[in-house]
Amino acid sequence: MHGIWVMLAVTLALAGGLFGAFLHAWTAGERGYWWAVAAGLPLSAFANIALKAPLGRLVIGATGVEPTLGPSSPVWFLAFALALAPVVEEPVKLLPLALPRVRRLLALPGGRLWTGIALGLGFGLGEAAYVAWGVARAPVYAELPWYAFTGFLGERVIVCLVHGIMTATLLVLAGRGRPVLGVLTAMTLHALVNSTALLYQASIVPMAVVTVGFGATVVGLALLFERMRRAEATPDASADVVYFMRDDDERGR
């Protein structure tokens, strides 16, 4: 058996167990969110195979640009490569909202935040499987033992959380009447997460920049999540309704 499949099993168990336990605790055991997690599982493969790959081939075929990223790659192509995942994946992560059982979760207390976390977690777990499939197809990794893929483990566990926070941000802003801002914010955060890795892939920055940049972005996202969690847990004073008042109160106004 290829070592990546062993590490994938470890990754799914760790990420699913860790974030699943937090989701269970934060939502008081609401089981409906697991439907959102399950619905998100196949979406990474769908986004990559059915959307991103054909779009990439279309652009490369139409422009004749060299598909391998490098310092000589046109700036517009680097921008396209950076934008491709955010523009495709953020809307795709919302597809399970077409299911009534998932959509009903939005009406629960803090439902937009936790539905986003659940959808992102499902997407991230499915993405781990998709990435592992790609690694297993590359001959260069065929002889490596399973423990050589610890980098895959760490990255994929963090990415599951990152996907959840981005989708939660989108849904929370949409719930506040700002759907366009929500989509643009999620896409921008996604691009920031991917930016240093793309620059490294293009041989523009060293790995140290990737490590620092990715770490700083993840910390920023964690702080954003905590801010949203606190805001969602605080009752909105504007929701208070006055059903009656004394006559003298009315005259005094």
CA 100 to chain centre: 22
Radius of gyration of the chain (CA): 21
Q: Provide the pLDDT confidence category of residue 58 given band limits of 50, 70 and 90.
A: very high
235 pLDDT more than 70: no
Rounded-to-integer distance, Cα 18 and Cα 129, Å = 17
CA neighbours within 13 Å on the CB side: how many for 168?
28
174-224 pLDDT tens trace: 999 999 999 999 999 999 999 999 999 999 999 999 999 999 999 999 999
Q: What is the largest CA-CA distance in the chain?
A: 85
| Predicted pLDDT at 246 | 45
pTM: predicted TM-score of the whole model, two decimal places:
0.90
